[in-house]
Amino acid sequence: MAVRGDAGVCDTETMTFVLIALALYLITAGLLARRLADGGPGVPATLWVAPALAAVMHGATHALAWSDAGGANLHFFSALSLVGLGMAALTLVVGLRGRMAALGVIVFPIAALTLALYAWIGRQDPQPLDWRLQLHAWCALLAYATLALASVLAILLWIQERALRRRRLHGWLRALPPLVELETLVFRTITVGFVLLTATLLTGVLFVEDLLAQHLAHKTLLSALSWLTFGALLLGRWRYGWRGAKAVRWTLAAMALLVLAFFGSNLVLELVLQRR
């Protein structure tokens, strides 16, 4: 990937991967949306082939960029794109279980947008990290992707529960899994994300030095608050049977803290203050 200044400018090979991935993501989202509008049955497994290829192309875009730059790029737009890739990959896993077309309609355009931002305006400077910091960074990205997907699922759960209470379960809402099944999926996803976030904080404490000098103190504090919020939610679910709107509010509050921890602070540091 060629680089000019601060903007990411793709070479021909990488741009081909980007355009194919964008097209496959958006076409699949459109097909899934149409299927939901038609009120059709479950999505056939063959329909998930296109977004699987898109995810491969998405990952190849990063691999080529890092190969050309001589190191991994984990700055703002690159990290955002990797989270989008993770969300798309997890959506494929969930989607193959059936009755989750609505999730693809939301997530695949998000993945396409993050890839487009990375390809056209993302920084491409290499960011050399030893294996310990790489482990910390990848745990963080996986945690963000998993918990972001859990937040989307939680919103779908809230919409479905509200429609049931008002007896207005029609249209695309009928394509969602039963309420109990969707709620179980939400908490399983949160549990996995919580474990990954725990690993992120542990590796950060063990491997990251001088948090204040590296502008990481606020990230650590917000991430810890998010971890405590997710932990309280899981404890409340286990001990008191929390569910419904309360669970959704806790999930979105915890995710908001996590977004501020990394993307909010990096947005200010990298794009406003021009720090790396």
> What tens digit of pLDDT does each residue of 246-274 get?
999 999 999 999 988 876 655 554 444 45
User: Which of 248 and 121 is assigned the larger pLDDT?
Assistant: 248
pLDDT at site 176: 79
Give the model confidence (pLDDT) of 27-53 as tens digits.
999 998 888 877 655 677 778 899 999
Residue with tokens 């920084």: 123
Could you tell me if 253 and 151 are in contact, meaning their C-beta atoms sit under 8 angstroms apart?
Answer: no
| pLDDT mean across residues, the chain | 83
pLDDT at site 70: 64
Give 1's pLDDT tier (boundaries 50, 70, 90): very low
Integer Cα distance of 84 and 55 in angstroms: 10
In the 8-state DSSP scheme, what is residue 177?
A: P
Residue 27 in tokens: 């076409």
Chain-centroid distance, C-alpha 30:
20
Could you tell me if 39 and 174 are in contact, meaning their C-beta atoms sit under 8 angstroms apart?
Answer: yes
CA dihedral 209, 215, 217, 220 (to 10 degrees): -80
Nearest to residue 156, comparing CAs of 203, 91, 206?
Answer: 91
Give the model confidence (pLDDT) of 141-166 as tens digits.
999 999 999 999 999 999 888 888 77
Give 101's pLDDT tier (boundaries 50, 70, 90): confident
pLDDT at site 214: 55
Using left for φ > 0, alpha for ψ between -120 and 50, and beta otherwise, residue 98 falls in: left
Pairing of strands 7-8, 3-4: antiparallel
What burial class does residue 148 get, using C-beta atoms within 10 Å of its C-beta: 0-12 exposed, 13-18 middle, 19+ buried?
buried
